[in-house]
Amino acid sequence: MTPYVSKIDRRTALKWLSAAAATLLTAPQIARARTYVKTPTGYGTDPDMLNPTSPWDRIMTERQLQVAAVMTDIILPEEPPHPAPSMIGVPDFINEWVSSPYEQTQDDQKIILDGLDWIDAEAKRRFSAGYAECGHDAQVTMMADIATDTDSTYHRFFDRFRTLTLGGYYTTPAGFEDIGYLGNVPMEHYPGPADDIKAMLEERMKKIGI
C-alpha cells in the first residue's frame, strides 16, 4: 500500500493552523513537551452549521496515521466501485475523533492511540516489520487475533477502531452508495416502499404468523 496522504480540505487545514498558532501564543511552555497541544475548547454552542469546522489540533503522529490507514482498509477492503476507507479520508476522521476535546472521545483517545502503537510494535516483534510494512497476510492475521479473542487486552481496541472505521465510512456519500441509503433527495410525493418490496415483507410476515 502506498503511504496514506491526508485528505483534509484547505479550509480545515487553515483553521488548525490558526488554532495552533493561537495556542502557541498562550500555552505555557510545559505544554510543548507533549507530542501535541490540545485546543482548550470544541466548536462551541453556536457553531456555523453551513461552514462546519472542527477547530482542534490533530494529535496522531504520522506513523499512527499510516498504521490506522492500513487497518481501516483491512477492516473494509476496497470492492470496486466501492472505495477503501483510506481512499475517502476515513483515517483523517479517526484522527479528528481521537483528537477532540470532548470527554466522550477521551476514552477512545487512549484506546486507539495505545492500540495503534501496540499493533505496530507487535508486528515488529512477530514479523520484523511495522504493521504498515509487514505484508497483507500478517496484517490480517494480527487483526484476526484481536477480533476473535474477546479476552485480549486489545479486543476493545479492535472494537472501537472498527466502530470508528464503519461509522466514518458509511456516513459519507460513498458509504451511502454502498449500503443503499437512497434518501436525502427532495421529492414531491413520498412513495413509500415499492409494491414488490411490500410483497416481500408480506410473505415474510405470513411466515412468522403476523
Partner 1 sequence: MKQPTPYDVIIVGSGAGGGMSAYVLAKKGLKVLMLEAGRDYKPEEETPMFNTNDEAPLRGVSTPDKPFGYYDATVDGGWTVPGEPYTSDPGGEEFLWWRPRMLGGRTNHWGRISLRFGEYDFKPYSRDGLGVDWPISYEELAPWYDKTEEIVGVTGGGIYHGANLENTPDSPPGILHNTPNRRLHEIMLARGFESMGIPVAPMRAAVIQKPMNGRAACFYATACGRGCSIKAMFQTTTVLIPPALETGNLEVVTDAMVYTVDMGKDNRAKGVTYIDRHTGDHKTVTANAVVLAASAAESARILLNSKTGKYPDGVANSSGTVGKYLMDTVGASSAGHIPILEGMPARNDDGMGGAHIYVPWWGYGQQARGELPFPRGYHVEVGGGQRMPGMGIAELANHSSVPFGKGLRQEMRRQYGADIYLAGRGEMIPNDDCYAEIDSDLKDRFGIPVLRFHWKWADYEINQAAHMRRTFHELIDRLGGTVTRGTGTDGREAIAKGGEIIHEVGCARMGADTRTSVVNKWGQTWDVKNLFVLDGAILPSNPDKNPTLTIMALAMRGATYLADEARKGNL
What are the distances in angstroms from CA 158 to CA 29, 63, 148?
35, 18, 10
**Which residue, 10 or 189, is less far from partner 1 as judged by CB?**
189
Residues in the site for partner 1, rule: CB under 8 A? Answer: 42-47, 49-50, 52-54, 74-77, 79, 82, 93, 96-97, 100, 102-105, 140, 143-144, 147-148, 162-168, 170-173, 175-176, 178-194, 196-198, 200-201, 204-205, 207-208, 210
Q: CB of residue 55 vs partner 1: minimum separation in angstroms?
A: 8
Q: CB of residue 30 vs partner 1: minimum separation in angstroms?
A: 26
**Which residue, 32 or 207, is less far from partner 1 as judged by CB?**
207
Q: CB of residue 50 vs partner 1: minimum separation in angstroms?
A: 6
Which amino acid, residue 153?
Answer: T
User: Which residues pair with residue 5 across a beta bridge?
Assistant: none
HEC profile of 134-180: CCHHHHHHHHHHHHHCCCCCCHHHHHHHHHHHHHHHHCCHHHHHHHC
What are the distances in angstroms from CA 160 to CA 47, 77, 101, 125?
28, 18, 18, 24
**Which residue, 33 or 185, is less far from partner 1 as judged by CB?**
185
